[in-house]
Amino acid sequence: MLSWPWLSGAVTIPWDAKAHFYPQLQFLAQSIHRGEWPFWAPYVFSGSPQIADPQSLIFSPPFLVLAALDPNPGFQAFDAVVLGSLGIAGLFILLLFRDRGWHPAGALVAAITFAFGASAAWRVQHVQQVLSLAAFMPTLWLLLRALERRSLAYGILAGLAAGSLALGRDQVAYLSLLVLAGAVLAHWLRSETVWTGIRRSMGPLVAGAVAGALVVAVPIALTLLLAEGSNRPDIPFGEAAKGSLHPALLLTALIPNLFGADGPFLDYWGPPSPRWGQVDLVLARNMGVIYLGALPAALLLAGLLRGVLWAREIRFYTVALALMLLYAVGSYTPLFQAAFAVLPGVDFFRRPADATFLVGAFAALLSGYLVHRLWTGTFLRHGPPWAFGEIVLGMAAFAIAIALAFATDNGALAGRPIAKAALCLGAALATLSVLPRLRLSHRHLALGLLVAVLTADLAWNNGPSESTGLPPATYDALRPDSRNETLAILKDRLGPDSLDRVELTGLGFHWPNASLTHRLFNVLGYNPVRLSLYTKATGAGDHVALPGQRTFSPMFPSYRSPLADLLGLRFIVTGVPIEAIDRQIGPDDLKLVAHTSDGFIYENSHALPRVTFARRAIAADPDAILHDGHWPEIDFRTTVLLEPGRHGEPARTTEGIVAENVSLESEPAAVVEHYRNTEIDVSVRARSAGYVVLNDPFHPWWTAEVDGRPAPILRANVLFRAVWVASGTHRVRFVFRPFRGAWREAQQHWPVLGRLSDALRRLRAVAPALPEYP
């Protein structure tokens, strides 16, 4: 029932789920069914190492299966995977409760609350984090079984599950792994002695660690190397602190839509928003809703004040909930700053508020436990479910909410959500009042009433909204079979085999990554992680949903610039006239070729082809050009800029041929014969030596061959790739080899790997039959 609006197709999970993750799935599925590796994505940011991107879904088992089965998965299939993952996590909650001997009624409440409460509901569009949250429950169950049964088999399974969880490479996965480590520590502390606990659990833990490392080592290493060369190798504390959960948002645990998170942004008055006032936070409005349902909230408040949540069998989850809450509010307590300074990896993430996913998970488990205690007669007994202290605290929360609303002149907006929450809380209290007696005389009716009240509450308050469910037609441009007029004109003008690039700017939040679905070679895209060199060169930001988000750089000051031509930027599609975006553009610099309901399509007739043959090379300092944007006056069709040698000598090839200012009388030709994600074949015909210049971003994991023999790739024209060839006819092949490239790069970052590599080479010298290593 709670999933039906999405599974039926009436609504679809919006925002990041469609704008970012759905195109990633489309690229993955289409690549698989075209027989191509999805390791490099040429359709965003002129090319990006997809295999190292933690949000590419390549290492997401459920989406990988969907991509393998369906070449063009639809919105409903995508949403079903997200919601189905939460459903599977709910099944493991049932198993966890069974192992603990807790009542099935509590397990059912915990599972429903886990899947449809707090951030699992309100932030369902953050797909990778939802998958990490879902992966946490089976991992926890397997780990506890491994520890309690001293089982190597369960230890290995727990390790594999933890490795799969770590593949999410997001903050929810990171915090989940810390919690799992805490569960091991708690197990040791509960043992007869700590040493006894350590000794008895060492076998399963070691087996699990080895299994997990086998799953996660390579993807994590790839991502770490990507981060080193990206726009965000780490996050400063000041920037991370802007993602803190404002303490006022904790009121949404009782009053879900207090601040208007489910409606238009203009009506939202919580922090941060213009209606709230100045606050140094950067959070979307749905990130601050942690509503689990009135019934779980009432149970948790009663359980806290009556000390039930401190029972030995549940204490670990209570502590975990408290720590996640403290972490989520970030800079509003000293804990986050201490964690940021001490814990390795915290500075990789920019939003401590992401901990609300785990806040919801532990609150769900605790509320289910309290239902178990209620059902067994050891918690709420006959009579009113709340004592005086609980009534005072509940009324205080509502009083604070009313005071905040009037203090910020938003009383009219807050009235309906407060009344609605009070009604739900009243229904929850009435249910809790009758359950102790009803469970004894009509247990099935009692269970039905419990589930019905909880489900109705979550459906009403956490159901589809502007933040969590929009009409599928909103994202029609992302469908592979879309009949969007703008896309049709672009595809018609480009033709099926064109390698010209486009830019999609200011068309709306879901447009930047549409190029992944429609295989358009896009100069920009939507991704918080991008190659640092490319970002500096082009000014590319996270996304370009709005015209004002298109920023330029010294190297790319305008669409009428050498870099725009080198990129082969043929068409620019904008939501407003291009003069409103590019203040330097002249009236005759670009040609307006179409005006659609989405915006304007312009053509740059100066765009260069993807590959050229340079008859001469000039030494130039790429860092200086990046900084000041000053290009030498050269013809890029015949000349290439290469990095000077260490002492400033002209650029040289490995053959030792000086190529500076060498004019060759020839009519060379370089043609792309085949262009695939990770393999590019170029045929060359030249009477004299020169350089094949491929206008794709330089990246150390690409390799090149000339007539089947390895050849070095040179960084050309600041941003691109070049390979020297002798005169004659040749075939140049570029191949993306991420594992080999990452191994070589890792040796530079981590010297111990270099020593290991040397040892393997020496071993291979005396044992030639050993297999090749990367």
The pLDDT score that the predictor gives to residue 719 is 97
Alpha helices of 589-646 — where are they, by DSSP H?
622-628
Q: How far is residue 642's CA from residue 660's CA, in Å, rounded to a whole number?
A: 9
The pLDDT score that the predictor gives to residue 765 is 65
- Under DSSP, the state recorded for 511 is S
The answer to whether residues 520 and 514 touch, using CB atoms and an 8 Å cutoff, is: yes
Instruction: Please report the beta strands in 676-719, taking only residues with DSSP state E, as ranges in sequence order.
Output: 679-686, 690-694, 702-706, 709-711, 714-716
pTM of the predicted model over 0.75: yes
Q: Is 39 helix (H, G, I), strand (E, B) or coil?
A: coil
Tell me the two tokens of residue 393. 């605290």
Tell me the two tokens of residue 108. 């059912």
The pLDDT score that the predictor gives to residue 380 is 77
Q: How far is residue 123's CA from residue 357's CA, in Å, rounded to a whole number?
A: 9
Instruction: Give me the phi and psi of 690, to 5 degrees please.
Output: 180, -160
Q: Where are the domains of the chain?
A: 4-36+55-461, 482-603, 611-735, 737-774
**What is the three-state SS of 5-34?**
HHHCCCCECCCHHHHHHHHHHHHHHHHHHC
The answer to whether residues 573 and 507 touch, using CB atoms and an 8 Å cutoff, is: yes
Could you tell me which residues come within 8 angstroms of residue 708 by beta carbon, excluding any fewer than 6 positions away? 731, 733
The pLDDT score that the predictor gives to residue 757 is 66
Could you tell me which residues come within 8 angstroms of residue 764 by beta carbon, excluding any fewer than 6 positions away? 770
Q: Left (φ > 0), alpha (ψ -120 to 50) or beta: where does 101 sit?
A: left
- Interior CA angle at 76 toward 70 and 77, to 5°? 30
Q: How far is residue 566's CA from residue 568's CA, in Å, rounded to a whole number?
A: 5
pLDDT tens digits for range 336-368: 999 999 999 999 898 999 999 999 999 999 999
- Which residue is listed with tokens 């197990």? 187
- Interior CA angle at 182 toward 177 and 185, to 5°? 135
The pLDDT score that the predictor gives to residue 746 is 84
- Under DSSP, the state recorded for 736 is E
Instruction: Give the β-pairing of 501-505 and 728-736.
Output: unpaired
What Cα–Cα distance (Å) separates residue 457 from each residue in 14, 84, 155, 364, 672? 22, 21, 39, 15, 59
Q: How far is residue 401's CA from residue 270's CA, in Å, rounded to a whole number?
A: 11
* Angle separating helix axes 443-461 and 294-305, nearest 10 degrees: 110
The answer to whether residues 186 and 140 touch, using CB atoms and an 8 Å cutoff, is: no
Q: How far is residue 383's CA from residue 167's CA, in Å, rounded to a whole number?
A: 49
CA dihedral 653, 656, 661, 664 (to 10 degrees): -90
What Cα–Cα distance (Å) separates residue 640 from each residue in 651, 697, 716, 720? 10, 15, 6, 10
The answer to whether residues 535 and 548 touch, using CB atoms and an 8 Å cutoff, is: no
Low-confidence ranges of the chain (pLDDT < 50): 646-666, 769-774
Say how many CA atoms lie within 13 Å of 349 toward its Cβ: 27
Tell me the two tokens of residue 408. 């910020």
Instruction: Please report the beta strands in 136-198, taking only residues with DSSP state E, as ranges in sequence order.
Output: none
Q: How far is residue 627's CA from residue 65's CA, in Å, rounded to a whole number?
A: 45
Q: How far is residue 652's CA from residue 659's CA, in Å, rounded to a whole number?
A: 6
- Which residue is listed with tokens 């393997």? 760
